[in-house]
Homo-oligomer: A and B are copies of this chain.
């Protein structure tokens, strides 16, 4: 395979590069590896090397966290990405995936309800504000 014309974006990252980019600590990244959420390769000197895949995975972890999933739940979801296995395994994974999908859709619905609540409160406050400013004249 011929080299691409221009330098490809960048193929690997150190732990601190990723930490900076995602605004988390290196400790967190190591902790995610400890729990099995990441498995970066190592240099001859035992330092972690993160590929684009690792980076994408980290992004997923962070997104999951922000959405209120525990690291354990995130791990289970991530394992879906790694299924290479047999029919039965795939079926189980699919079933689990459907469950997670429903949970996610439920979360979306709940967020939309919360959003409605806040919008209502905003309206109420805006009205009260108008009246107050009226009576200030």
Count chain A residues whose beta carbon lies closer than 8 angstroms to a beta carbon of B.
44
With A67-B68, A94-B129 as known contacts, state yes or no: A81 contacts B111, CB within 8 Å. no
Contact indicator B68/A110 (Cβ below 8 Å): no
- Which B residue's beta carbon lies closest to that of A86? B132
With A66-B68, A86-B132, A128-B90 as known contacts, state yes or no: A111 contacts B122, CB within 8 Å. no
Q: Kindly supply a per-residue 1/0 record for chain A positions 86-126, scoring 1 wherever the CB is within 8 Å of any chain B CB and 0 otherwise.
A: 11001101100110110011011011111101110110011
With A67-B107, A68-B67 as known contacts, state yes or no: A97 contacts B118, CB within 8 Å. yes
Which B residues lie within 8 Å of A87 (CB)?
Answer: 129, 132-133, 136
Q: List 14 A-B contacts (CB under 8 A).
A: A64-B114, A65-B68, A67-B68, A67-B110, A67-B111, A67-B114, A81-B121, A86-B132, A90-B132, A94-B122, A94-B126, A97-B122, A101-B119, A107-B111
* Residues of A participating in the B interface, judged by any CB pair closer than 8 Å: 60, 63-69, 77, 80-81, 83, 86-87, 90-91, 93-94, 97-98, 100-101, 104-105, 107-108, 110-115, 117-119, 121-122, 125-126, 128-129, 132-133, 136
